[in-house]
Amino acid sequence: MKQSFFDLTYDDLKALLIEKGFSPFGATQMFNWVYKKWVHDPNEWSNVSKAAKEFFIENYDFSLLKIVWSGLSKDGTRKFLVKMQDGQTVETVAIPARDRLTLCVSSQVGCAVGCTFCHTATQGLKRHLKPSEVVLQYLTVQKFLNDNTSGDKLTNIVYMGQGEPLHNYENMKKATEIFLCQQGLGLGQRRITLSTSGMVPAIEKLAIDFPTVNIAISLHSARNDVRTALMPINKVYDLERLFGAIKKIPLKAHRRITYEYLLIDGMNDQMEDVVALAELLNSKESKINLIPFNEYPGSEYKRPSEEKIMWFLDHMIKRGFTCTIRTTKGSDILAACGQLKSEFDKVNVWDNNSSRPVILPNISRSVRQNLQT
Ligand code: SAH
Ligand code: SF4
């Protein structure tokens, strides 16, 4: 299997060119062709030497990911299930909001962290994604939008799909460098947000050698016992250790840190949770994003009532916090993180031989209508 060209950062490409005896200046031209002009066939690169073109045709793969399924929600959210070279699949979701179109990318196939509320956790960790597989989620979706919409353009990226990005540190670092590279896609630092469940050693490293991007911490409770029940990672990296690491993130560069707070009925939505959260966070340095729990078939938790969600929001605002509610997007197309992939894995398990997937009765109608064979 050839290595993907999209695994190479600009510096990797330059080093490779030097190693192979080509001019390092070719790196700028190649990144320009591939990321700015969307020309993925080296034969068409006019200002690159013939020998260099032949080397890349021979040794590197330029293909995009295969879209196994895509669905468009009533609210404009587009969800994609994409397949990689080894046949593994992950989800990636394009979410429109105001003047933005944000792509939520996956960082791993499955996840090892095992949060008790998360659908992806039920899949365990299959493997890390390569840098190319992260970059290609973006390129594949943008290509789909070029071909199927009147000019929709992805503007932002969040690492909030399947997987824990900091568990796949080095590959996510490379993917981030590729997204930011001025010679290539040139996305701004403020347009990328990394969300983590709180892997303390990696957060400490972030401050030193990860490109500057927005940071979101999945907090979900300011009380150790409740957080441990939701996120087993809290047994090892509890709130004291987590906040010890967060303090090392240079705030100037990162502006404020966003804290994601899942609201689960009767679990972390009580007065004592409000008080603990307000005590733990500094209202000037933090933003709180409340996420009403997204129920899925078989989930053991429930979403609080709308009144309860507003009550929680009110209390945080009264205490001086910048606090917002993340509205659920694309709920008519299996929005809960990891849910789509699981449904498809079931389909594949049920019928390995047929070219048409067996339609399970519990797959929603919108998914059924959109099944591609
Ligand atoms: N592993 C990283 C990033 C991926 S999860 C992390 O945990 O931060 C991205 C966000 O989706 C997290 O804040 C997570 O708590 C949230 N999430 C997971 N399952 C959810 C569900 N069923 N309903 C709502 N949000 C969920
Ligand atoms: Fe992994 Fe994030 Fe899901 Fe937890 S919430 S299991 S860290 S993907």
Cβ of 115 less than 6 Å from ligand 2: yes
Question: Which one of the ligands is nearest to 166 CA?
Answer: 1
Which pLDDT score, from 0 to 100, does residue 168 have? 98
Domains, the chain, ordered by start? 3-61 (1.10.150.530), 66-372 (3.20.20.70)
Q: How confident is the model at residue 229 (pLDDT cuts 50, 70, 90)?
A: very high
pLDDT, mean of residues 326-345: 59
Which pLDDT score, from 0 to 100, does residue 326 have? 86
Q: 128-132, 181-185, 207-211: which range is least confident on average?
A: 207-211
- Amino acid (one-letter) located at 359: I
- Is 91 known to be catalytic? yes
Q: How confident is the model at residue 359 (pLDDT cuts 50, 70, 90)?
A: very low
pLDDT over 90, % of the chain: 78
Query: What separation in angstroms does the CA of 160 have from each of 184, 212, 326, 348, 366?
Result: 23, 17, 13, 25, 23
pLDDT at residue 233 is higher than 70: yes
Q: How far is the CA of 68 from the centre of ligand 2 (A)?
A: 23
Nearest residue (CA) to ligand 2, atom 8 = 163
Kindly give, in sequence order, each residue whose CB lies less than 8 Å from that of residue 368, ignoring residues fewer than 6 positions away. Answer: 359
Which pLDDT score, from 0 to 100, does residue 325 have? 92
Q: How confident is the model at residue 254 (pLDDT cuts 50, 70, 90)?
A: low
pLDDT, mean of residues 276-286: 94
Q: How far is the CA of 54 from the centre of ligand 1 (A)?
A: 44
Helix (H, G, I), strand (E, B) or coil at 321: coil
Which pLDDT score, from 0 to 100, does residue 370 have? 44
pLDDT at residue 224 is higher than 50: yes
Pocket test for ligand 2, best of 117, 164, 235 (most atoms within 8 A of CB): 164
Kindly give, in sequence order, each residue whose CB lies less than 8 Å from that of residue 186, ignoring residues fewer than 6 positions away. Answer: 35, 36, 180
Cβ of 336 less than 6 Å from ligand 1: yes
Q: How confident is the model at residue 341 (pLDDT cuts 50, 70, 90)?
A: low
Residue 275, classified by CB atoms within 10 Å of its CB into exposed (0-12), middle (13-18) or buried (19+), is middle
- Is 337 known to be catalytic? yes
Which pLDDT score, from 0 to 100, does residue 25 have? 94
* Nearest atom of ligand 1 to the alpha carbon of 118: 19
Q: How far is the CA of 158 from the centre of ligand 1 (A)?
A: 12
- Tokens matching residue 276: 């603990």
Of residues 330 and 79, the one with the higher pLDDT is: 79
pLDDT at residue 248 is higher than 50: yes
Of residues 270 and 206, the one with the higher pLDDT is: 270
From 91, 133, 177, 343, the catalytic residue:
91
Please tell me the distance from the alpha carbon of residue 102 to that of residue 328, in angstroms, as a whole number: 14
pTM of the model: 0.91
From 115, 118, 323, 337, the catalytic residue:
337
Nearest residue (CA) to ligand 2, atom 3 = 118
Q: How far is the CA of 114 from the centre of ligand 2 (A)?
A: 6
- Tokens matching residue 5: 């060209």
The kind and range of the H/E element at 329 are: none
Give 2's DSSP letter. Answer: P
Nearest residue (CA) to ligand 1, atom 3 = 160
Q: How confident is the model at residue 208 (pLDDT cuts 50, 70, 90)?
A: confident
Which pLDDT score, from 0 to 100, does residue 97 have? 87
pLDDT at residue 366 is higher than 70: no
pLDDT at residue 352 is higher than 60: no
Please tell me the distance from the alpha carbon of residue 153 to that of residue 133, in angstroms, as a whole number: 20
Helix (H, G, I), strand (E, B) or coil at 230: helix
* Mean pLDDT score of the chain: 89
pLDDT, mean of residues 228-236: 97
pLDDT at residue 340 is higher than 60: no
pLDDT, mean of residues 178-200: 96
Cβ of 109 less than 6 Å from ligand 2: no
Which pLDDT score, from 0 to 100, does residue 74 have? 86
